[in-house]
Structure 1
Amino acid sequence: MKMKFIFSGLLFLGLLSGQVELYAQSGPETVISPEDKFQNAFYEALKQKGIENYDKAILELEKCLALQPNNPAVYNELGRNYLSQKSYEKARVNFDKATQLDPKNKWYWMGLYDVFYQTKEYEQSIIVVRKLIEFDAKFKDDLVSLYMYTQQFDKALELINELEKTAEKSKTREMYKLQILSDAKFKGSEKNSLLEMLQKNPKEESNYIALIYLYSDSNQEEKAYEIAQLLEKNLPESDWAQVSLFKFHLNNNEPQKAIKSMNQVFGSNKVDNKIKHRILNEFLIFVTKNPQYDADLEKAIGYFENDKEVQVSKEIGKFYLNKKDFSKAIKYLEKDLQEDSGDMEATRLLLQAYADSNNFEKLGKTAEGLIDLYPLQPELYYYAGLANNQLKKFSKAKDLLESGIDYVVDQKQLEINFNIQLGEAYSGLGNTAKKELFFQKADKLLKER
């Protein structure tokens, strides 16, 4: 990402030429020296820029320029004002002039960089950033990004590898590197480079991770496994080794080893949550085929109790509902609602799970209880009516369904379902005319879909 610097006009005070001198004379008027005129105009320009009155600031700076036509600070301030107005060409001309007059001032080059970056002239930005690197090596990260934007992946990779040795780790750099290495063109040479780096520095974790990724992506699973084992050997505390070893152990039908690796990853603060969710999903699929490890799944889910990004219990409930394993779906959806009783999506899924598993007593009791809390939710009336129909409490079902159907808006399938259940209720009550009326309404809605 592009670095942002806060610039204050006060930094230029040392650049303003001359000391302020007052030339007094007898009489009511005071003669103002050129230096005073310059300083007054410059301060006024800073003030006007501060209140975003850029046109007035520019007029004041033009007065300064008439007095000191070779003052780089004035050109820089003009550039800043024009940049704020998005007058990019005028901004560029003024920043360029400032850098010519004082090429050793980083801030003037920064202004030029701002222009090229905002106008997406990344090739020009690269030229300026190379200059800025002479002032501050941190701009090398900007250069990496610019190489990526201009698809100069070979230069980006070379610079990333250099920064891995000399600078602090960066997630952005890691992301760029994985993006580059997804191209087969770079994989072979990068593998060799990483292997050489591992020999020189066997304690650098990122090189192992990159190699594991490269081998896995090239379907060289045995090689990837070897590197993961080497990482575990040389850096036994590495949580990243366990990320890879988990999958290998699972594939090799070594569930106890996989579970051990999984638990270490879940307890780590270093591993990204997205990776943890992926591992949990893989383990969930494994447990559906191997239910004897249900207890380990329960323990794994416990690591995510305070997860703000994903409601894990609900997602597992959805998974089992789709698999038509209703007892497990109910178990996890109930768990989710214990953690967040206001989750209406989980509520609807739970009611559907009760219905699909023919647990109508539970369905009716739960739906009716929720109507008191959420009286405007039509699905609650529908499920309560469905349950009472199945329990042959037709009069109660009719009352619930007739109360709830008024809340159905732009939900055609739900409206169809209401009419079907009303038909069932009136059928149970022996009212053939009403039964036919509601079944006909349902049939008409079905044809309109």
Structure 2
Amino acid sequence: MKIKKYLVSSLFFGMLLFPAFAFAQAEPDDIALAEDKFQDNFYESLKQKGIENYDKAVIALEKCLASKPENAVVHFELGKNYLSLKDYKKAYEYFQKASVLDPKNKWYLVGMYDVCYQTRDYNQAIVIVDKLVPFDANYKEDLASLFMYTEQFDKALALINELDESVGKTPQREAYRASIMKDSKYEAVEKDKLLAEIKKNPKDESKYIALILLYSDSNQEEKAFEIAKKLEKEIPDSDFAQVGLFKFYLNNNDGEEAVLAMNKVFESKKVDAKTKYKVLNEFLIFARNNPSFNADLDRAVSYFNAEEQVASTKEIGKIFYAKKNWERAIHYLEIYSKNNPQEVEPNIFLLQAYAESAQFEALSKKASELIDFFPLQPEFYYYSGLANNQLKNHKKAKEFLEMGLDYLLENRDLEINFNIQLGEAFSGLGDTKKKEQYFLKADKLLKQKMQ
């Protein structure tokens, strides 16, 4: 679990914060000399730190400390240099001393937090961050992460709820919440809490949504449906109610009602993109097993903007490919390939789908186009050879296959296929000797692979 650190520092921070010290009973010239010496040593420390000579920076700062032992900035700079030297004990001590001398300066606390973070002392980090929160409420995000890392889930959940209410949800906190909810104890408490809040304020849409998601994630679809219907009754124009209804209809294999709910979700300006994508993926799985809804799937994709549509066609195409639904795989992969001709992998899926569905004219044309884009990609020469062999253009097949072999590197499966197609090409050209040569080579490679 990665903790996001809210940490900013400034190289010349110390230069702006020298406290003014009175030199009682000292001559003016002595005061000026002492100040000049202090300034010279301090600037020397900054220079040495800037070129990563941290040991020399420490020596210069110790000279500063000799004349001004209560200067918080010098202690802070010593802390930073010892931190760079990974002497965490001394670094923490100097940051802590700086904070005692000037408790209103948050950066001294940040230095202590930095030591705790780097040494993974997360329990002590919580103590420090608690003190940082009054300076900057953004540190509450760090605190939530620290509670998760130290498995203080009660505190983490309470803070997550507070932050969701005050500043809105974030993907990180949503992931934390999901992790906590895997424990049935917290899940039950959260459900009861949401039910009580809904009873107290039946017009608070967010509480219905959270409860629907909780019930859905724990496979309590009937309860999720009940809450969705209740939301629809209390807030008739609620778009989020349709999310819960969609899941219920889909799980009950009621495709027609699911499509109606899904389209309302996609038309909504309130429902976030993440939720819409989740709905799309769930409907995709349903449509994959219920081809009568293919047109509805196409329409679902059309709700997204052009860039999102194109991105989704790749994944949808690959899913249909895995199901060996070549027609639908080709439909989506062609859309993606047209808009992303520079990507190799989806084009290989597309060519194989053409081959599996015996669309050799289309295969030949597409493979030839791709060779122009990727002259060093052996797969495209192979598919061109395969297509031309099937189309009885054996001379052309031979030429593509021989060219492609020059770019083939450590891919035994592809090498076997190249040799098989070259055998087919020479067979078509009537060259029995070379036909046998390539078939024997393919057989040898196949046996080596099986060993």
Give the TM-score band, short-chain normalised: 0.7 to 0.9
Whether 1:325 and 2:325 are equivalent positions in the alignment is yes
Tell me which residue corresponds to 1:314.
314
Once the two structures are superposed, the pairs formed by residues 72-91 of structure 1 within 5 Å of their partners are 72-91=72-91
Tell me which residue corresponds to 1:94.
94
User: Is residue 302–residue 309 contact of structure 2 (8 Å, CA) maintained in 1?
Assistant: no
Distance across 1 between alignment mates of 2:433 and 2:40: 93
Query: Any idea what SS the aligned residue of 2:55 has?
Result: helix
Whether 1:339 and 2:342 are equivalent positions in the alignment is no
Task: Name the CA shift for 1:43/1:20 in 2 (closer, same or farther; >3 Å).
Answer: farther
Q: Which of residues 16, 20, 24 is equivalent to 1:17?
A: 20
Task: Name the CA shift for 1:16/1:329 in 2 (closer, same or farther; >3 Å).
Answer: same
Whether 1:353 and 2:356 are equivalent positions in the alignment is no
Distance across 1 between alignment mates of 2:303 and 2:375: 35
Tell me which residue corresponds to 1:32.
32
Whether 1:5 and 2:4 are equivalent positions in the alignment is no
Deviations for 1:155-175, whole angstroms, at most 9, x for unmatched residues? 212333344444544443332
Distance across 1 between alignment mates of 2:371 and 2:74: 70
User: Is residue 6–residue 142 contact of structure 2 (8 Å, CA) maintained in 1?
Assistant: yes
State TM-score, norm by structure 2. 0.87
Measured after TM superposition, the shift of residue 237 of structure 1 is 5.8
Measured after TM superposition, the shift of residue 241 of structure 1 is 3.5
User: Is residue 417–residue 442 contact of structure 1 (8 Å, CA) maintained in 2?
Assistant: yes
Measured after TM superposition, the shift of residue 126 of structure 1 is 1.3
Task: Name the CA shift for 1:435/1:84 in 2 (closer, same or farther; >3 Å).
Answer: same
Tell me which residue corresponds to 1:405.
405
Distance across 1 between alignment mates of 2:404 and 2:136: 67
CA RMSD of aligned residues (A): 3.1
Once the two structures are superposed, the pairs formed by residues 140-289 of structure 1 within 5 Å of their partners are 140-234=140-234, 239-267=239-267, 273-289=273-289
User: Is residue 364–residue 388 contact of structure 2 (8 Å, CA) maintained in 1?
Assistant: yes
Measured after TM superposition, the shift of residue 147 of structure 1 is 1.0
User: Is residue 76–residue 95 contact of structure 1 (8 Å, CA) maintained in 2?
Assistant: yes
Query: Any idea what SS the aligned residue of 2:406 has?
Result: helix
Tell me which residue corresponds to 1:41.
41
User: Is residue 330–residue 354 contact of structure 1 (8 Å, CA) maintained in 2?
Assistant: yes
Distance across 2 between alignment mates of 1:363 and 1:173: 47
User: Is residue 122–residue 150 contact of structure 1 (8 Å, CA) maintained in 2?
Assistant: yes
Query: Any idea what SS the aligned residue of 1:409 has?
Result: coil
User: Is residue 9–residue 107 contact of structure 2 (8 Å, CA) maintained in 1?
Assistant: no
Distance across 1 between alignment mates of 2:205 and 2:145: 23
Tell me which residue corresponds to 2:418.
418
Task: Name the CA shift for 1:16/1:255 in 2 (closer, same or farther; >3 Å).
Answer: same
Distance across 2 between alignment mates of 1:12 and 1:407: 62
User: Is residue 266–residue 300 contact of structure 1 (8 Å, CA) maintained in 2?
Assistant: yes
Structure with greater contact order relative to length (CA < 8 Å, sep ≥ 6): 2
Task: Name the CA shift for 1:329/1:133 in 2 (closer, same or farther; >3 Å).
Answer: closer
User: Is residue 16–residue 39 contact of structure 1 (8 Å, CA) maintained in 2?
Assistant: no
Deviations for 1:93-141, whole angstroms, at most 9, x for unmatched residues? 1112223333343222221111111111011111222222344444333
Query: Any idea what SS the aligned residue of 1:18 has?
Result: coil
Tell me which residue corresponds to 1:105.
105
Distance across 2 between alignment mates of 1:79 and 1:427: 79
User: Is residue 284–residue 297 contact of structure 1 (8 Å, CA) maintained in 2?
Assistant: yes
Query: Any idea what SS the aligned residue of 2:117 has?
Result: helix
User: Is residue 14–residue 74 contact of structure 2 (8 Å, CA) maintained in 1?
Assistant: no
Figure out how many residues of one structure are paired with residues of the other and give that number.
445
Distance across 2 between alignment mates of 1:376 and 1:134: 60
Distance across 2 between alignment mates of 1:31 and 1:72: 20
User: Is residue 178–residue 210 contact of structure 1 (8 Å, CA) maintained in 2?
Assistant: no
Tell me which residue corresponds to 2:389.
389
Measured after TM superposition, the shift of residue 143 of structure 1 is 1.9
Query: Runs of 5+ in structure 1 lacking a partner?
Result: none
Distance across 2 between alignment mates of 1:210 and 1:91: 44
Measured after TM superposition, the shift of residue 192 of structure 1 is 1.4
Deviations for 1:309-357, whole angstroms, at most 9, x for unmatched residues? 9732232222223333222222222222221223332322222222212
Percent of aligned pairs sharing the same letter: 56
Tell me which residue corresponds to 1:443.
443
State TM-score, norm by structure 1. 0.87
Point out the more displaced range, 48-57 or 221-230. Answer: 48-57
Query: Any idea what SS the aligned residue of 1:430 has?
Result: coil
